[in-house]
Every structure is written in structure tokens, then in C-alpha cells.
Structure 1
Amino acid sequence: MLAHSQAQPRRQAAPENGPATLPSHPKSRKKSAIFSVSARRCPFSPASPLLSTFPTFQLPSELRRPTQPNPTQPKYLPLPRRLTATPLLAFRRLRLRVRPRAAPIPMSATASPHTSLLHLPHRPFGPRRPRLTRLRCLASLAPASSGASPENEDHLIQTLCAHGRLARAAALLQGLPAPTQRTYESLLLAAARAGDTALAAAVHRRLEADPVFRSDPFLSTRLIDAYAALRALPAARQVFDEAPVKNIFVWNAMLKALALADHGEEALACLSDMGRVGVPVDSYSYAHGLKACIAASASHVPASARVREMHAHAIRRGYGSHTHVATTLIDCYAKLGMVSYAERVFASMPDRNLVSWSAMIGCYAKNERPGDAIQIFQEMMASDADLVPNSITIVSVLHACAGVNALGQGKVLHAYILRRGFDSLVSVLNALMAMYMKCGCLEIGRYIFNWIGRRRNVVSWNSLISGYGMHGFGSESIQVFEEMIQEGISPSIITFISVLGACSHAGLVEQGKKLFESMVEYNVTPRAEHYACMVDLLGRAGRLDEAVELIQSMRIQPSPQVWGSLLGACRIHGHVEYAEMACSHLFDLEPRNAGNYVLLADIYARAKLQNQVDVLKELLEEHALEKVPGCSWIEVKKKLYSFASVDKNPQVEELQALIGEFVTQMKNEGYVPDTGSVLYDIEEEEKERILLGHSEKLAVAFGLINTGSGEVIRITKNLRLCEDCHSVTKFISKFTNREIVVRDVNRFHHFRDGVCSCRDYW
């Protein structure tokens, strides 16, 4: 440090040519050192009269310009401790370089007065001389001279491959008499990274003519991997068939290539051939085989049965609890929606790494269990301090936070992303933007979108379009779609789903029809999802006849989503005939979906057809179908709380009492409870009591009790917001002067001053 290390008297006498100095107390050493560094940047010379206005400080002697060369002067001045703790790159930028000079350099008339004070080395203007990099050094060893050794040529080819200079590396390969195994591997890996099929084929031809490595199973494995990455499956098959030596690594490479190409049946046949020829399978064989089960296209054997069979086979061979196999099992069960099986596999794992934890988090996030995903992420962070979440883990947790409107925990992840440097990854930024959009923070989401800049991809645009659409800003979604086209980004299938959904929530029927007709111009073939959006668009607007005509004119088979959109529109407008037509198809396509029965029963109940309601109840009991209970989530002080219609929370009585007070005041102003959604044939008072226990009402009351005045209450519900809860929430927002944001399965509702952003169009 620049401060003196020995204690000094309390007050020093002022020197003859300078002001008095402060004592060097141990507690003031750090401040003195910091000042010493800043003094070197002072724009005033020592003789400047302005320095006399600071009588308590004096430039340290180490920084005074020497009149004679001092051989003992250090080349680099030491830095304060707070600066030396910075990373190496920052240290190199901050360190102060001082070169002693024999004589002072005369200052020109245009020079700054502090130049002579700092003794900065003279650096001429103009471009810097380029440094001689390792690649340039090795380039000098190219076979331009006949004396270059083969070892140098091999090393040069490997370095060129690492730097992406594939054309130069391929040219050197032709003149190399005997490439090494490492050279072949470097060329194949570089060809796979760059997508250069021609280079991979050239290496393949050279290997066939090489008597040393022609039968090398390691290079055969690398060649199959390269062709698999290049989507050249026939060439990979040729390498496998012609390989003279086929060990387990060659078999696994071919199995992986078939699974990646979605040739599930062939991959499973390859796995069977391994056992037939006597090659023992290992953990990687089972992992690739499980992925092949998902990709298998045989309709007579469902993928779930194949995965369970492979799981049992792995257990018999002792690989059931292997980390790699178990992680792949969790991922497969997650894709099949078999969360309970994934939980059993995860619970039986003796060793869990970051990949296995991330797979389980993603399993919950993909299967609409975001609360469990956040909980297991917290368990992961508490289980092992060495587990550091990577970008894949962060993306899954961000999706979970968006699923339950956990804005506080999402902000904590945002800070973690900045600390870890994940903000350089577009995938992480897209997930972060989607999280803010789905939590109701449109401004922050748009800011992140603008900050991504030129790195924006189609996922970024889709997230912004979908975010605006969920909040009911259809015009803004269309504007973003037009900006996307102007930027030269080709819209995808998801893009049109997002923009058509935005038109549906905003009631922009004509704009939506034009966008649907323009899909052909962008080489996007309408799928069932797009027809479902159009049926929803027409149905919400009350144009049910057009919606039915569109379904009948479809060139593809209508999916459950299409008929479900029609059924939802019939519920809004109370159309019994079209509802029965939609359910006649839904009961065949989705016989285990209890929601279709409940929705039709709701339509019957509003139409006062109690007999049909009783028939549907009997069907539910006969097929042992359970209605999905309504559930709502609210985050208070970065802790997530969930409420169900049959919840036994200790505060339920207090919450219901608070809601009852609001309902009493609302009745005085003309409010009439909407009991049409209650399917039970009971008295009206009992129906009103059931309405008080709806999960969104409990969540709103919980937020009013446990949050401060003026704080926004954010709630997420897994079902559609019912009409009675919508009316009650509007009144509560006006009576309490609070902003309440509710996101249901379809869209956002911003309640403020008794008005909802949906304008009662949902």
C-alpha cells in the first residue's frame, strides 16, 4: 500500500514547501492509499494554487516526479486492496504503469498539465502493431518450405480446426503423408460443428485409404457421430456396416444416430441386434434406447409401454439407478406426462447431479406443476453447496415462476443471471422476458426484448407477441408481428398461434381472418392449433355459425382443441345445440377428460336443464372421472401460497369472513351473486356459500390481509375465471383502492378502480 506502515505523531509540522499532512493512522491507511491513486489522475499540477485549498492532503512522495533516475522505483505501483481483488482482466486494465525517465519531458502548449504529473509512458498515435498470435506462429510452419516436419503439420491442422479454418486444414490434409488419430478426430469434430458435410466425406475417403486407421473403432465412432450431427444418416449407416471392428462404442454411436434422426423402430432393432451378437449393453445404450422409445412411430405399441419395458430391462441388468439412465427415464416420463413414475425414479436415485435435478425441475414445469418445480429447485440449492445451476436449470425455473406468477422469485433469478453472466445467452433472456410478460410486467419484458437487440430470434418475437396477446393488447401484437416481418424474420407455426390468439382476446375478428389467410404467403400450412384459434376468435365474437362452417371445411381431422374451442364459445353464449355437437366428438376423442363433462353440465345448468346435469354427473361417477379442482397461487414476501376450493388453510375462516363483508356491501349496491356455475341442485343460499369458497376469492382476501397498502396483488388460477369471481374482484379493487392482477388459463385480468382490462370480453 502507498500509505506509511509505521505510526506517526498525531500532527506533523508542515514542510517548508507544502501543507501539513494527516497522521497515518492504521484505520486511515486504506483511504490514504485510495486517495494516492486518485491523486495521480488529478487534473492539476503540484504547483497549482488550487491544491492549496486542500491543506489536509499532500501528494505522496512515491508519486512525485523524480529529478534523477531511481533504479529502485517499482515498475508497477501497487493498488489498493479493493482493486487488486478484481479479476485478472480488470486488474490489467486498472494497474498503473510508471516508467522512470532520466529527464523530464517538456510539455507542449497543447498538453494536459497532469501529463507530467503521472509520468505516463509515451504511446504514439496510430494503429497498434498486431500481436503474433499462436495461429500466426504456427502458420509459419506451413509446408511452404520443404523442411516442415509431419509433427508440425499435424499440430497446425489441429490448431486450424480449433479456429475454424477448415479450408486451410483440408488443403494441408491432402499433402500430409500420415495423419495421426488426433488429426482425424479434430477434422471430424470441426466438420460437425461447422456443418461441413464435404469435409467429413473427405476425411472419410482418406480414412478408407489409410492402412493404419482404417479399422480403428475410435475413428469409426467419431465418423458416425459426425454424420449424425450433419443429418447424413445413410452415410452413418455405411460407416457402421463397413466397420471391420464393432465394439460397444461403435454400436452406441449408431444407436445414438438413429435416435437423433427419430428412427425409433430402427434404433430399437439395433439395440436388439446388440444382444443377439453378444455385445453387452451399458448405461449409454439404455439412454439412447429410451429416447428411441419416444421416437418410435409404431401405433400398435404405445410409447409409455415401451419406456416401462425398457425401464424394467435396465433394472434387471443393474442400470436402473444409474445416474445417466435414471435422468433419461425422468425426461422420457416427463414427455409422456407420467409425473408419478418420474418421481419414483428420482426418489430412488442414490446420486443426483445437476442434470438429474434439472430434469426433475423440467418435468414439473412441463406438466403444469410449477409450484413443485420451484420447491424442488429450492431443495436442490439447499442439498449441496457444490450444485451450481446452469442455463438449462435457470430456464426451467423461470418457466415455473411464470406459471404461478412468482414475480419475486423471478427477480431473484434475474439477479443470479446477471451475477453468473447468463445474460449473454439468448435462450435465458427469452425465458426471462417470457417470465416478466406472464407475471404482468410488460414494461420490463419489452425492455429485455429491446436489450437483446440484433441477437433476437423467432422465439424472442413470439414471446413478445404472446405476452401482449395475453394482456388483451391485440393491436400491439399485430404491430410487433409486422415489425418482425420488416426485420426479415420468417414467422413460425408458433408465431401465428400467438398472433391469432391475441386477435381472439381483443376481438379483432377481421384482422385475425386476414392473418389466417396470409399464412400461405409465409409457407406455413395451417394446423389444428391455428383452426382452434380461429374457432375461438369467431366463437367469442358470437359468430358460432361461421365457426361451425370453418370446422366442417377443414382439410384435416378436427382435433380436441378445435372442438374444445367451440364448446368454450357455447358456454359464453349459452348455445346448447352446438355444445352437444362438440361434446359428441370430444367424448370420443378424450374419454378421460372430465373437463368436457363439467363444461357441458355448466351449459345445461345455465339453461335450467337440471335433468341433463344429473345425467352427466352419473356419467362422471360411472367412468370414475374426477373434476380438476380450482387452484390459485399468490406470492407474498417471496413465498408461494396455494389455495383450492376445498382448502383447509388456517386462515380460511378469516378469509371467508372478509369476503362475506365485501359481498354484503356489494349487495347494498345492487350486486346479485351469479350462481349459475354451481351444478348442485340446492338452495340459493347454499350456492352463495359455495361461491365464497372459490380459490381466487380466497387468494384475493389473503393478499389483502398479508400485503401492504398500495402493493399489487398478483394471482394465478389454473382454470377459467368464473363470472361471479370476476364481478367480486372488480368491486374489491374499487373498494380497497388496490390493483389486482389475475391470470387464468386464457388471459390476464387487470382490475383497477372497479374496471377490468378485458372489458368483460373473455
Structure 2
Amino acid sequence: MDKAMAALAEMEALGFRPNSASYAALIEGLGSVGRTLEADAIFQEMICFGLKPKVWLFNVLLRGFLRKGLLGLAVRVLVVMDELGVWRNRETFEILLDYYVNAGRLEDTWSIINEMKRKGFRLNSFVYSKVIGLYRDNGMWKKAIGIVEEIREMGLSLDRQIYNSIIDTFAKYGELVEALEVFEKMQQEGIRPDIMTWNSLIRWHCKAGDISKALELFTEMQEQGFYPDPKIFMTIISVLGEQGKWDVIKRNFENMKYKGHKKSEGLQPSATMFCILANAYAQQGFCEQTVKVLQLMEPEGIEPNLIMLNVLINAFGIAGRHMEALSIYQHIKESGISPDLVTYSTLMKAFIRARKFDKVPEIYKEMESAGCTPDRKARQILQTALMALQQRHYHNGFT
């Protein structure tokens, strides 16, 4: 885009102007990389030279402005559309609808829907799923479900998008039995659940404390060929970790690992997934299990990254094994990896737990020498160590 803008400047310096297609390409390109204000400037120049953009170009600008919350510029785009006699198409309305729903603006949402009806646009599953979501997020879940009746009365079949909205609405407000009933009906009608369907059911069952059903759905999802979203995996691990069910965590992770080659949708096993599992063990100070997760990464061809090694330092630190934590730190440096702020802070905390207060200032100095700027937490750790050393010296002097 920089080269394109430079070419435009050179072109205009020579007294030439781009044609309509070139202007459109520039605006679309700038919009795609978030340079909306530059896109707007090119758009204004295009209008100034008497060129009339197509409706799709207006939509590009409209989407870009609303994505950044620039409502004033978005409204101006709509005004220019009206002035130039460019009719709004379905995409224009859906862009506006999506914005108003996400902003929780119920009145404006219905205003757009009514305008769509007046213009002769039939309401589709996208529109209805957005309305259901808006009611759901505003606590009006019964009204959200009432929309389903309106859909049926209009003879519009329920598709996956609408089903997902209904399931999420029921589940969010604790109506898990109804959510599962809709889930079953969805499948009976030949509509295959997608990753969003599974994620919604698992997440809300976890939040309701029904971890057994969440795990059942988690397993069924994998059997259906979906790999779990990391956030969902982390939610399950967190709940199981709180309950101390580490054997269940390990068993589910092993099942995921062995089924990974069958997955066709969702995210594949990655360093992030291993880090989530390792961190669950590390938070409990289970060093051996954390190391085993590290070992599991090797057969998968995944190299342990800095995040994983930081987790390992934390595991040893929580367990009070500061020498092992220090050895991991040495390994990081010997491997040519640059320790980050988390590395230094985690290691200093390990020394604090082991009451090796004199080691903390040494690591702090190494952090500064490496060009890593200490944050407030790191400074607090140092202060804690210095105060402990001061008290120790005072006590020794007194005795």
C-alpha cells in the first residue's frame, strides 16, 4: 500500500489522475489494512473529481469505519450514497445491523430491520440470528426465543446460524435442558453442529458447574471430528483444576492427542494448547507433570517456546525447587533464547519462595543489563527481597 500511495502521488505530480477502478482498488486496499482515514481521503478525492463509486465500495468504507467505531464518518458515507443516488443493498443493511447489534442499540436495530422490510428485502437467517443475539445479551431471552415463532410463521427454515443463537440464548440463562433439546432437534433435522455450537454448550455447562456433562460434550465433539477451541479447553482445565481432578485432565489431554490426526475442523494441537495444560499443572506446583507435558511436545514436532519454559520455571518455583527453576533459566540463555520480563519475574518469585532473598537483586540486575525494562510487579518483588534482607541483617545484628 505504501508503494501504491507513492505511485499515486507521483502520478498526480505529473498531472494525471487514476481512473475509477484504480481509486476503488486503493480504497479497498487501505481499508483492508485498517488505514481508514487515508481511505476516506482517497474517497473524497474520487468524489471531488466527479467519479461515482459503486455500492460495494461504499460498503467497504462503511464496514471499515464502523469496525473502528467511527460512526460520524459512517453516517457521512450514507449521506453521500443518498446524494449520489446509490441504492443501499442487502450488504449495506447487514453491515449496519451488525454494528448496532454489537453496540447493543435495540431501537436502531429495529429501525434498520423495518427499513429493510420497506425496501423489499426479505429477512434472512443472518438478520434473525443477530436479533436473537441482541435480545439475549440484553437479558430478554424469552423475547429472543419468541423470534423463533416469527421465523416459523414466515416459513423460513431454521439454519445452523439461527440454531446456534437459540442454543446459546437458552444456555446463557441456565436453561441447559432446553438448550440440549434444541441441540438434538437441530441434528434430527439434518443440520450438523459446528465448532460454535459445541463451544457454547460446553462453556455454559462449565459455568453452571456441570463439568460431567461438559466433558461428555467435549468427548462427543472430538468424535464428531472437531478439535476444541483453546479457550474451551482452558475453561475445562480450570474447572477440573479447581476440583483437583488432575487424572481427568491428563486423560482428556491424551484423548485429544491421539484423536488429533482425525480432526478436520477447529484448531490443531499447538504449543499454545500444551502451554495451557502445562500451566494447569504448574499452578499446583506439579513439576513432574509439567515436565511430562514438555516431553509430550517433542513427538508432535513442537519445540518448547519461551512461554512454555517460563511455565516450567513457575512450576518449580511454586514447588519450592529454586535450583531447578534456575537451571531452566540457564537453559533458556544457553539455547540463544532471550529471556523476557516474565522469565525474570517468575525466577525472582521462585527465589522469594525459597527465601533466597540475596539472589533476587542479582537476577534484577541481569534483567536490566539485558535491556528488559522492569515493570511495577518486578520492582515490587525486588522491594520485597530487599526488605527481607534488611530484616535478616537487623535480626542477625541484634542476636
TM range, smaller chain: 0.5 to 0.7
Q: Does the Cα contact within 8 Å between 1:398 and 1:432 map onto a contact in 2? A: no
Q: What is the distance in 2 between the residues matched to 1:289 and 1:448?
A: 49
Whether 1:352 and 2:232 are equivalent positions in the alignment is no
Q: Does the Cα contact within 8 Å between 2:167 and 2:183 map onto a contact in 1? A: no
Structure-2 residue corresponding to 1:109: none
Structure-1 residue corresponding to 2:273: 393
Q: What is the distance in 2 between the residues matched to 1:474 and 1:200?
A: 59
Structure-1 residue corresponding to 2:211: 339
Q: What is the distance in 1 between the residues matched to 2:83 and 2:161?
A: 31
Aligned-residue offset at 1:211: 5.0
Q: What is the distance in 2 between the residues matched to 1:201 and 1:346?
A: 44
TM-score scaled by structure 2? 0.64
Whether 1:375 and 2:241 are equivalent positions in the alignment is no
Distance 1:285 1:277, change over 3 A: closer
Whether 1:409 and 2:292 are equivalent positions in the alignment is yes
Whether 1:161 and 2:31 are equivalent positions in the alignment is yes
Structure-2 residue corresponding to 1:183: 57
Q: Does the Cα contact within 8 Å between 2:93 and 2:112 map onto a contact in 1? A: no
- After superposition, where does 1:494-533 map in structure 2 within 5 Å? none
Aligned-residue offset at 1:150: 1.6
Q: What is the distance in 1 between the residues matched to 2:178 and 2:31?
A: 43
Superposed CA deviations along residues 670-697 of structure 1, whole A, max 9, x for unmatched, are xxxxxxxxxxxxxxxxxxxxxxxxxxxx
- After superposition, where does 1:239-388 map in structure 2 within 5 Å? 239-243=109-113, 244=116, 245=121, 246-256=123-133, 263-266=137-140, 269-278=143-152, 280-292=157-169, 303-304=173-174, 306-318=175-187, 322-324=193-195, 325-349=197-221, 351-355=224-228, 359-360=232-233, 362-368=235-241, 369-385=245-261, 387=263, 388=268
What SS does the aligned partner of 2:209 have? Answer: coil
Distance 1:321 1:166, change over 3 A: closer
Distance 1:385 1:241, change over 3 A: same
Superposed CA deviations along residues 169-225 of structure 1, whole A, max 9, x for unmatched, are 0122234454345434543554466565554454455556675452x3323333344
Q: Which amino acid aligns with 2:228?
A: V
Aligned-residue offset at 1:249: 0.9
Q: What is the distance in 2 between the residues matched to 1:473 and 1:292?
A: 51
Structure-2 residue corresponding to 1:442: 325
What SS does the aligned partner of 2:204 have? Answer: helix
Q: Which amino acid aligns with 2:25?
A: H
Q: Does the Cα contact within 8 Å between 2:351 and 2:360 map onto a contact in 1? A: no
Aligned-residue offset at 1:364: 3.4
Q: Does the Cα contact within 8 Å between 1:184 and 1:203 map onto a contact in 2? A: yes
Q: What is the distance in 1 between the residues matched to 2:299 and 2:182?
A: 41
2:353 is aligned, of 471, 478, 483, to 471
Q: Which amino acid aligns with 2:294?
A: K
Q: What is the distance in 2 between the residues matched to 1:171 and 1:316?
A: 51
Structure-1 residue corresponding to 2:22: 152
Q: What is the distance in 1 between the residues matched to 2:376 and 2:101?
A: 27
Aligned-residue offset at 1:322: 1.4
Q: What is the distance in 2 between the residues matched to 1:292 and 1:466?
A: 46
Q: Does the Cα contact within 8 Å between 1:321 and 1:348 map onto a contact in 2? A: no
Q: What is the distance in 1 between the residues matched to 2:309 and 2:142?
A: 38
Q: Which amino acid aligns with 1:326?
A: W
Aligned-residue offset at 1:287: 3.3
Q: What is the distance in 1 between the residues matched to 2:97 and 2:148?
A: 17
Aligned-residue offset at 1:312: 1.6
Superposed CA deviations along residues 237-283 of structure 1, whole A, max 9, x for unmatched, are 51453231432212323445666xxx351466334324335454433
Q: What is the distance in 2 between the residues matched to 1:258 and 1:446?
A: 55
Q: Which amino acid aligns with 1:307?
A: L
Q: What is the distance in 2 between the residues matched to 1:370 and 1:395?
A: 15
What SS does the aligned partner of 2:292 have? Answer: helix
Superposed CA deviations along residues 640-686 of structure 1, whole A, max 9, x for unmatched, are xxxxxxxxxxxxxxxxxxxxxxxxxxxxxxxxxxxxxxxxxxxxxxx
What SS does the aligned partner of 1:265 have? Answer: coil
Q: Does the Cα contact within 8 Å between 1:264 and 1:294 map onto a contact in 2? A: no
Q: Which amino acid aligns with 1:265?
A: G
Q: Does the Cα contact within 8 Å between 1:323 and 1:356 map onto a contact in 2? A: no
The runs of 5 or more residues in structure 2 that have no matched partner are 318-323, 392-399
Structure-1 residue corresponding to 2:397: none
Aligned-residue offset at 1:438: 2.1
Q: Which amino acid aligns with 1:464?
A: T
Superposed CA deviations along residues 96-126 of structure 1, whole A, max 9, x for unmatched, are xxxxxxxxxxxxxxxxxxxxxxxxxxxxxxx
Q: Which amino acid aligns with 2:278?
A: L
Q: Which amino acid aligns with 2:177?
A: R
Aligned-residue offset at 1:363: 1.4
Distance 1:209 1:371, change over 3 A: farther
Distance 1:317 1:220, change over 3 A: same
What SS does the aligned partner of 1:367 have? Answer: helix
Superposed CA deviations along residues 524-571 of structure 1, whole A, max 9, x for unmatched, are xxxxxxxxxxxxxxxxxxxxxxxxxxxxxxxxxxxxxxxxxxxxxxxx
Superposed CA deviations along residues 704-755 of structure 1, whole A, max 9, x for unmatched, are xxxxxxxxxxxxxxxxxxxxxxxxxxxxxxxxxxxxxxxxxxxxxxxxxxxx
Aligned-residue offset at 1:166: 1.8
Q: Does the Cα contact within 8 Å between 1:248 and 1:281 map onto a contact in 2? A: yes
- After superposition, where does 1:450-465 map in structure 2 within 5 Å? 451=338, 453=340, 460=342, 464=346
The runs of 5 or more residues in structure 1 that have no matched partner are 1-130, 296-302, 424-428, 512-762
Q: What is the distance in 2 between the residues matched to 1:187 and 1:273?
A: 31
What SS does the aligned partner of 1:154 have? Answer: helix
Q: What is the distance in 1 between the residues matched to 2:193 and 2:279?
A: 28
Q: What is the distance in 2 between the residues matched to 1:488 and 1:257?
A: 43
Q: Which amino acid aligns with 1:250?
A: V
What SS does the aligned partner of 1:385 have? Answer: helix
Aligned-residue offset at 1:143: 11
Aligned alpha-carbon RMSD (Å): 4.9
Aligned-residue offset at 1:338: 1.4
Superposed CA deviations along residues 10-34 of structure 1, whole A, max 9, x for unmatched, are xxxxxxxxxxxxxxxxxxxxxxxxx
Q: Does the Cα contact within 8 Å between 1:410 and 1:435 map onto a contact in 2? A: no
Q: Which amino acid aligns with 1:407?
A: T
Q: Does the Cα contact within 8 Å between 1:188 and 1:226 map onto a contact in 2? A: no
Distance 1:318 1:168, change over 3 A: same
- After superposition, where does 1:550-569 map in structure 2 within 5 Å? none
Q: What is the distance in 2 between the residues matched to 1:466 and 1:293?
A: 47
Q: What is the distance in 1 between the residues matched to 2:139 and 2:90?
A: 25
What SS does the aligned partner of 2:310 have? Answer: helix
What SS does the aligned partner of 2:91 have? Answer: helix
Q: What is the distance in 1 between the residues matched to 2:176 and 2:312?
A: 33
Q: What is the distance in 2 between the residues matched to 1:185 and 1:227?
A: 16
- After superposition, where does 1:681-720 map in structure 2 within 5 Å? none
Distance 1:390 1:335, change over 3 A: farther
TM-score scaled by structure 1? 0.37
Q: What is the distance in 1 between the residues matched to 2:62 and 2:350?
A: 45
Q: What is the distance in 2 between the residues matched to 1:248 and 1:210?
A: 31
Q: Which amino acid aligns with 1:380?
A: M
Distance 1:242 1:361, change over 3 A: closer
Q: What is the distance in 1 between the residues matched to 2:61 and 2:235?
A: 35
